[in-house]
Chain A
Amino acid sequence: MDELFGIPLPLLFGQLLLGLINGAFYAMLSLGLAVIFGLLNVINFTHGAQFMMGAFAAWMLLNWFGVNYWFALILVPIIIGATGIVLEKLMISRLYKLDHLYGLLLTFGIGLVIEGVFRNEFGSSGLPYRIPPELSGAWDLGFMFMPVYRGWVVVFAAAVCLATWLVIEKTRLGANLRAATENPALVQAFGINVPRMVTLTYGAGVALAALGGVLAAPIYSVNPQMGSNLIIVVFAVVVIGGMGSILGSVITGFGLGIIEGLTKVFYPEASATVIFVIMIIVLLARPAGLFGRTA
C-alpha cells in the first residue's frame, strides 16, 4: 500500500515533516509564554511583537552591520531579551499587585506600539532575508525537495526546547524558579532575590520569542504583522496544552503543528480553524488543558 486516503505515502510523510516545522514555532512561542506565565502570572501579549522584533533585529544586524545569521542567532535573543528586561523593570513590575488582567492589557498596548513603530519605519510589504549559505540547498527526496534550512529549524528548535526544560527541571536555578512559582515569599525568605529572578525570567521568555523570530526570518517575509497573525494561534495552543507544564507546552506545540499540516493536505480550507476547534473540544473534555493542573 503506497497510498493513504488517495495521498501517496511519501508525499504524506513530507507533509508531516512540514507540519513539524510549523509546530517548532508554536512550541518555541508557547514555551516562552509558559515560562513567563509560570513566574509572573502575566500572559505576555507582546510576545508576537517580540517575535517580529527578533526577525527585524536579524535583518538589521545583517544589512546595517554585516552581522551574519549565525551571530544573529546568539546576539538577537540577548538584545531583544534585554529590551524585555527593561520593559519588565519599567512597566510590568508595577502591576504585580493588581489583577492579572492588567498585565494582559499592558502587554497588548505595548504590542500595538511596537507594531505601529515598525510599520512606520519599514512599511508593510516586508523585507528579504536570505537563507545562510551553509544551510541553503535542499535534499531531493524524489517526490519533493526538502530544504536543508527547514530541517535545521526543527532540530534547532527541539534542542532549544529540550535545553529550556533541562534548565528548569534539572538545575539549581530551575529549582529556585519552580519554588518561587509556588511560593515567592518563602523563597525570598531564603535569601534569593525573587524580583531579579522574575525580571530575568521575563527576559528569557522574550529571548525565546526573539530566537523564534530569527529562525523565521529566512522562511517568512519579515514584516511588522508577522507576529500578530501567529500569536492568537499560539494562545489557542497554550489553552490546549495548559501552561502548568513546560514539556506539555512543547509537546502540544509540535503535535498541533502536525495536525495542522495534515489538515492542509486533506481539507486545506479548515487548516486555520482546526486548532481553534481542537481548543473547544479540549475545553469541553478537559477544561484545564491536556497538561494543566486543575486550579
Chain B
Amino acid sequence: MASETTAPGIRVIPAPVSDGSLWGFSRPQRVALIVMLVFLGVAPFAGLYPVFLMKLLCFGLFACAFNLLIGYVGLLSFGHAAYFGMGGYIAGHAAKVMGVPPELAILLGGAVGAALGAVFGWVAIRRQGIYFAMITLALSQLVYFVCVQAPFTGGEDGIQAIPRGKLFGMFDLSADLSMYWVVAAVFVIGFLLVHRIVHSPFGMVMKAIKENEPRATSLGYRTDDYKLLAFILSAGLAGVAGATKSLVFGIATLTDVHWSMSGEVVLMTLVGGLGTVFGPVIGAAVIVTMQNYLAEWGAWVTVIQGGIFVACVLAFRRGIVGEIGALLKVKL
C-alpha cells in the first residue's frame, strides 16, 4: 500500500507562499488555537468534570478525523463508527488481556483503524457521492455484525474493566486527572496532525479533488491514490480516538460500532462546520454536552438530534464555527 501512495503519479507542489503563518495557521486561527490550549489547561481546575472533558476530547478528535474526509476531500463516509469502535475494541483487548501499556494500546487501535480503513477505502472509492456513503455504511454494518458475534469483543457485554495502566510503564493513569493530560496530549497531537496534513502539498491535492476531481485527474494526479490515503489517515485517527475513549471509560462496547455512532460524528462535524479547523471540536463539545444534559429527557434525545440535523442542513450549513467565521470575516 505504501509503495502505491508514493507512486510517480504524485507530484510535489511547492508549498504556498508563507505569510509568516505557523504550520499553516493564520493569525485568527492562532488566536483560536491559543484559546483552545488555555482552555484545555484550565478546564479541569475550573470545576469541569475530567471524565466528561476526556469524552469530549475523544469525540473531538474523532470528528476532526472525519472532517479530514468530508471537509477536505468531499467524501462523506457514513461508516466511521467501524474504525472508531474497532480501535476501541483492539486497544481494550490489548490492554486488558495482553497487558499492553496504554501508549501502545492507543497506537495499536490507530493501526487497526488504518488497516481496516485501507481495505474498506479500497472498496468504497470505486464509487462516488452518495454511493460512497451507502457503501461505507454497509461495510460498517458488516463490522458491527462481526463484533456482535466475535468472542473477543464480549458480544453485548462488551469488554469491561479495561485497565488504564501505566504510561511508559511509569506513570499510573488510574487517577482521572493524570489520564486527562494524556488524553489532552493525544487530542492536541491528532488535531495538529490533521491540520498539518491539510496544509501539506498532499492536502492541496485533496482540496483540488474536492473542488473538481476530473480537473485534478487531468492535471496528472492519481486521484484514487490520494483519496485512499486520506481515507486511511482518517480511519487511523478515528481508531486512535476510539482506543483512547475505551481506556478512559474502561469499556469497549457495541455502541461505538453501531451506525448511529457514524451518524453522530456526521452531526458533530456538521454542527461545528464542515471543512473548518475548529468546527469539529466545537461540534463534538456541543453534542456531547447535549447528550449529558438531555439524559433525563429519554426518547427526545434522538428527536432533538434529528431536529438539529435538519436545522443545520436547511439553515446553518456553515455550522457554528463557519457562521462565526463568516461574521468576523476570518477563516477559523
Contact = CB atoms under 8 A, between A and B. Distances in A.
B133 A104 contact: yes
B142 to A, nearest CB: 4
B149 A238 contact: no
Nearest to B130: A43
Contacts of B307: 109, 113
Contacts of A115: 302, 306
A113 B310 contact: yes
B28 to A, nearest CB: 27
Contacts of A91: 310, 314
Interface in B119-167: 123-124, 126-131, 133-135, 137-139, 141-142, 145-146, 149
B328 to A, nearest CB: 24
A137 interface: no
B145 A273 contact: yes
A102 B313 contact: yes
A94 B134 contact: no
B15 interface: no
A239 B136 CA distance: 11
Contacts of A113: 302-303, 306-307, 310
Contacts of B128: 295
Nearest to A232: B141
A75 interface: no
A104 B306 contact: no
A179 interface: no
Given A95-B313, A101-B130, A283-B127, A276 B308 contact: no
Interface in B260-302: 263, 266, 270, 298-302
A280 B309 contact: no
A106 B314 contact: yes
A109 B310 contact: yes
**Central interface residue in B137, B145, B149, B302, by most chain A CB within 10 Å:** B302
A295 B308 CA distance: 33
Contacts of B317: 98, 102
A227 to B, nearest CB: 13
B181 interface: no
A94, A106, A112, A280 — most chain B CB neighbours (10 Å): A112
Interface residues of B, number: 42
Contacts of B123: 280, 283-284
Contacts of A279: 135, 138
Interface string A99-113: 111111110111111
A132 interface: no
A101 B210 CA distance: 13
Given A112-B303, A272-B145, A232 B130 contact: no
Contacts of A273: 142, 145-146
Contacts of B229: none
Contact of A239 (B131, B306, B308): B131
A106 B130 contact: no
B76 interface: yes
Contacts of A280: 123, 139
Contacts of B145: 272-273
Among A91, A269, A287, chain B packs the most CB atoms within 10 A around the CB of A287
Interface string A158-181: 000000000000000000000000
A160 B138 CA distance: 27
B305 interface: yes
B249 interface: no
A239 B128 CA distance: 11
Contacts of A112: 263, 302-303, 305-306, 309
Contacts of B133: 43, 101, 104
B259 A232 contact: yes
26 contacts: A91-B310, A91-B314, A101-B130, A104-B78, A104-B130, A105-B76, A108-B309, A109-B307, A109-B309, A109-B312, A112-B263, A112-B306, A115-B302, A116-B300, A116-B301, A119-B302, A120-B299, A120-B300, A232-B141, A235-B134, A238-B134, A239-B127, A239-B131, A276-B141, A276-B142, A280-B123
The 4 lowest CB-CB distance pairs between A and B, nearest first, are A109-B309, A112-B306, A116-B303, A113-B306
